[in-house]
Amino acid sequence: MEEKRIFLLPGEFHVSKEPYLIATLLGSCVAVCLFDRKQGFGGMNHYMLPTQPAGTKGDAKYGDFSIRTMVNIMSRNDPSMRNLQSMVFGGAAVTESLTSSSNIGEKNIEIAKRVLEEFKIPIIREETGGTSGRKLHYKTWTNDIQVRAIQKSEQTHHFSEKEKYFSKYKIKVLVVDDSSLIQQIIKTALDGHPDIEVVGTASDAFEAREKILELEPDVVTLDIIMPKMDGIKFLKKLMLHYPLPVIIISSIAQKGSAVRTRAGEIGAVDVIDKEELALYSDPGKLQGILTDKIKAAAKILVKKKTASEVGDA
């Protein structure tokens, strides 16, 4: 059986009757796998926070909303839900212990168990907590899953050092987009934050390459549709030769798209659809979303990849 493949980013889920191999990386985030053992199909989510604040619109980055949405989708085929079973993974204390007393990982685990109990869906496998991240590969048609531990020592040391560094210095950002208007909109939004500084802008990959070498940014925001070389090709080159945290910001990177999945596989630390940012209508929303993602991205250790890992072999 030939399966399709998808890589889940934080705040996403996927349920399908078609065979999918779903992959994701977890730290303090949690993934819940749901499977209908009678009809032989399933799905998985990846959420960042436990509970959605009152009065906010549905957002799959919150566990309570994400799990309930998956259950509702799967129950359309079996309203009794008698054949549903679940697995829970993640919730590690990878970085929270360095920055706060509240363990987000534990809270993410708790909400999974609470919502699954609410629907009387049994948990047949659980690998949660600890201090190491996890890499998952889940087969939606068999409910088989492969779980590998991600060694945390180097990443945690890097995170700790970056925490110290950014307590004294601003996060340097390079904005790469072929539209000068969008460059200015993003720059204005980010420059309004006390911890972030846009050190430069670039309109294509070749200009971006020179700016990266000259300015040494901590984070790069990267469009995909650009002249001379598209953002996916440039991302590959960065991961091969000069790895650093890259956030893709593109109008063709909608949730569930092949482009979004491919960018995550190559090495982008985050992918954002431009529509999500309300670039032209809501500066406050733009600043809120982008600054949080840039502050998180700046502390991630991005390692050099091989040609086979980026799909160029």
pLDDT digits (tens, 9 = 90+) for 178-216: 999 999 999 999 998 999 999 999 999 999 999 999 999
CA angle 152, 6, 94 (to 5 degrees): 15
Amino acid found at 96:
E
Cβ–Cβ < 8 Å for 151, 132: yes
Same domain membership, residue 216 and residue 240: yes
Range of the domain at 83: 4-151
Q: Which residues on neighbouring strands pair with residue 220, listed in sequence order?
A: 174, 246
Same domain membership, residue 182 and residue 120: no
Asked if the model's pLDDT at residue 262 lies above 60, the reply is yes
Same domain membership, residue 32 and residue 138: yes
The better pLDDT of the pair 174, 168 is held by: 174
Does residue 305 form part of some domain?
A: no
Q: What is the CATH number of the domain that holds 103?
A: 3.30.1330.200
Q: Element (H or E) spanning 174, and its range?
A: strand 171-176
The better pLDDT of the pair 78, 128 is held by: 128
User: Phi, psi (5° rounding) for residue 281?
Assistant: -125, -20
Q: How many CA atoms lie within 13 A of 145 on its CB side?
A: 27
Asked if the model's pLDDT at residue 39 lies above 90, the reply is yes
Of the pLDDT bands very low, low, confident and very high (cuts 50, 70, 90), residue 96 is very low
Backbone φ/ψ region at 278: left (φ over 0), alpha (ψ -120 to 50), beta: left
Considering its fold, how many domains does the chain have in total?
2
Same domain membership, residue 124 and residue 59: yes
Q: Report the pLDDT value the prediction gives residue 94, as an integer from 0 to 100.
A: 67
Q: What percent of the chain has pLDDT over 70?
A: 93
Q: Element (H or E) spanning 165, and its range?
A: helix 153-166
Same domain membership, residue 127 and residue 143: yes
Q: Which of 140, 125, 109, 161 is nearest to 300 (CA)?
A: 161
Domain end marker among 134, 151, 168: 151
Asked if the model's pLDDT at residue 98 lies above 60, the reply is no
Same domain membership, residue 135 and residue 13: yes
Q: What is the CATH number of the domain that holds 211?
A: 3.40.50.2300
Cβ–Cβ < 8 Å for 108, 91: yes
Burial of 280 (0-12, 13-18, 19+ CB in 10 A): exposed
CA distance 117 to 122: 7
Same domain membership, residue 116 and residue 12: yes
Same domain membership, residue 187 and residue 122: no
Of the pLDDT bands very low, low, confident and very high (cuts 50, 70, 90), residue 285 is confident
DSSP codes, 209-256: HHHHHHH--SEEEE-SS-SSS-HHHHHHHHHHHS---EEEEETT--TT
Does residue 303 form part of some domain?
A: no
Instruction: Work out the mean pLDDT of the chain and round it to a whole number.
Output: 90
Same domain membership, residue 198 and residue 113: no
Q: Which of 60, 65, 119, 110 is nearest to 90 (CA)?
A: 110
| pLDDT tens string 215-227 | 999 999 999 999 9
Q: Report the pLDDT value the prediction gives residue 132, as an integer from 0 to 100.
A: 83
Does residue 56 form part of some domain?
A: yes
Same domain membership, residue 242 and residue 126: no
Q: Report the pLDDT value the prediction gives residue 280, as an integer from 0 to 100.
A: 85
Q: Element (H or E) spanning 139, and its range?
A: strand 133-139
Does residue 309 form part of some domain?
A: no
Q: Any idea what DSSP says for residue 62? A: B
Does residue 273 form part of some domain?
A: yes
Does residue 304 form part of some domain?
A: no
Same domain membership, residue 41 and residue 178: no
Same domain membership, residue 170 and residue 127: no
Strands 219-222 and 246-250: parallel
Does residue 311 form part of some domain?
A: no
Amino acid found at 138:
Y
Asked if the model's pLDDT at residue 129 lies above 50, the reply is yes
Instruction: Tell me the CA distances in angstroms from 89 to 66, 76, 138, 148, 249, one per residue in order.
Output: 15, 25, 11, 11, 29
Asked if the model's pLDDT at residue 229 lies above 60, the reply is yes
